A and B are shown apart, each in its own frame.
Chain A
Amino acid sequence: MRIEKVDVLIIGGGAAGLAAAIEAKNTGVKTLLLERDRNTGGVLNQCIHNGFGLHVFKEELTGPEFMERLWEELGNLDEIIRNNYTVLKIDHINREVITLSEEGIVVFKPKALIMATGARERPLNALRIPGSRVAGVYTAGVAQKMVNIYNRLPGNRVLIVGSGDIGLIMARRLKIEGMDVLGVVEIMPEPGGLIRNVVQCLEDFNIPLWLSHTVFKIHGKERLEGVTIGKVDENFNPIPGTERYIEVDTLVASVGLIPQNELIENFVEMDPINRGPVIDDLMRTSIEWIFAAGNNVAIHDLVDFVYEEGKIAGRNAAKYVLGEKLPKPKYIFKRGNNVGVLLPQRFTGKEPFKMYLRPKKSLEKSAILFSGKVVRKFNWKIRPSEMIDLVVRNFESLPNEVLVEVNKID
């Protein structure tokens, strides 16, 4: 067993981890990034569609382009990145990160740690649909990897379950590659992904979207043969008489992402709504030497936001290692009316920072309030599926506990 000392250790080589590595490395501290896959980039590898980088690079890039730009910014990848390293355990008492790789067990001893472990897909089985567990059922990300990386089609006739962005993008992608895409079913009364993707992925390719619909039953014994879909009421219960049978050999499920925090959730303070660690504006968790950024903190809409968080985490982890005294969080955000995902939950009040939130319900005209005071108005429709970003400054007037609300206005 080998022991390796490092200043900043980053777990996960997606956009957040790469951004953190760029920033930490540039301060001169010894930086190492562990990636369990054979190369870094994370989901950017397989997201060959455009729509990335408008905030960060001021142009619209595809996933691989965004990823390769980060590689170029990082410089000598071999020096910083260890591919094919899986983290088994974090011993937070002894500050050790235990890994498994081709060289066996290696224990890293970092001065600061950045969690950039991203998210995993919720599987269709989580929906508890009756029927056998047949072949031909994929998550959208797996189907995407098959098609875009390995050049394999998952089947011939497909129904997409869930209208999150990956589901919508995969509907178009599978159609372009020659599959019969019979439609997208969405249990909610409105689409889960960006409207832009409903337009350019479904409407452009005449793919039907069934809202307030779900899969009632899966047919087939070994390979999927078909599904029964139907309408649901406002409590998501099936409405009898609305069933219809659709012959498909493939189901692609895009039913949500789950932040991956198995490595830290037992000892770091967690936010049950974000499903990620509680963090402050410096991207610190409740343990001062452990930072976190990206989709493991909360599910984001844009890689640009994830990248920016990674940079903040990388910068502050390096400062911590260099012995700079970082300010303690002084304020906390408390969720009030109509606030779902919200981050950071704490802040130091030293410098302006970006906060992200999702309303729980869609509103036509609305305002964000901090302890009763309007800080931002929206005269366009806001939705849970579209994350709001907001720069917070002018701390002087704020109480230490800031109640955040998203209220309807006239």
Chain B
Amino acid sequence: MIKKLTCISCPIGCELSVTLGENGKILKIEGNRCPRGVDYATNEFTDPKRILTISVRVEEGEMELVSTRTDKPIPKKKLNEIIEYIKKLRVNAPVKRGDIIVENILETGSNLVATRTVNKKD
């Protein structure tokens, strides 16, 4: 059986054809223009993962929010749980780009990292 999917590793979006054996095992991956396509397709059929980008509330900051991301892709099936967890978070300004907001978020092995600098309110 051949399954088609679009690689989302980068904005190019290669259209992959994945040949699956009878037991669901991946026999062949085609259409990728770089090796990340192979990893993506393999993950999609085992444990799909995504980078999450989301805002976190900041106290005493020049902005109310700091943008954050997970530094590694997290399992798609845990996405909602992690979103709900992050919504309850509060951090204090100042926050620097690259600061770890949550280490090993919900045991995923991924850290939640600030993607911008928010200074303290004057």
Contact = CB atoms under 8 A, between A and B. Distances in A.
On whether the two chains bind one another, the answer is: yes
Interface of A: 48-51, 54, 60-62, 64-65, 67-68, 147-151, 176, 178, 194-196, 198-200, 204, 301-302, 380-381, 386
Interface of A is mostly: mixed
B55 interface: yes
15 contacts: A48-B53, A48-B54, A49-B53, A50-B69, A51-B11, A54-B10, A54-B11, A62-B115, A64-B116, A68-B116, A149-B65, A151-B64, A195-B6, A196-B8, A301-B11
Given A149-B63, A176-B54, A64 B115 contact: yes
Given A49-B53, A65-B97, A380 B11 contact: no
B13 interface: yes
A48 B63 CA distance: 14
B57 A196 contact: no
Nearest to B97: A68
Contact of A148 (B51, B55, B83, B97): B55
Contacts, number: 74
A48 B15 contact: no
Contacts of B15: 195, 380-381
A231 to B, nearest CB: 25
B96 to A, nearest CB: 10
Interface string B1-19: 0000111101101110000
Given A151-B64, A176-B83, A196-B11, A65 B54 contact: no
A199 B11 CA distance: 12
Given A65-B115, A196-B6, A302 B11 contact: yes
Given A50-B69, A151-B65, A196-B6, A64 B97 contact: yes
B79 A380 contact: no
Interface string B76-117: 100100010001000000000100000000000000000111
Nearest to A178: B87
Contacts of A151: 55, 57, 64-65
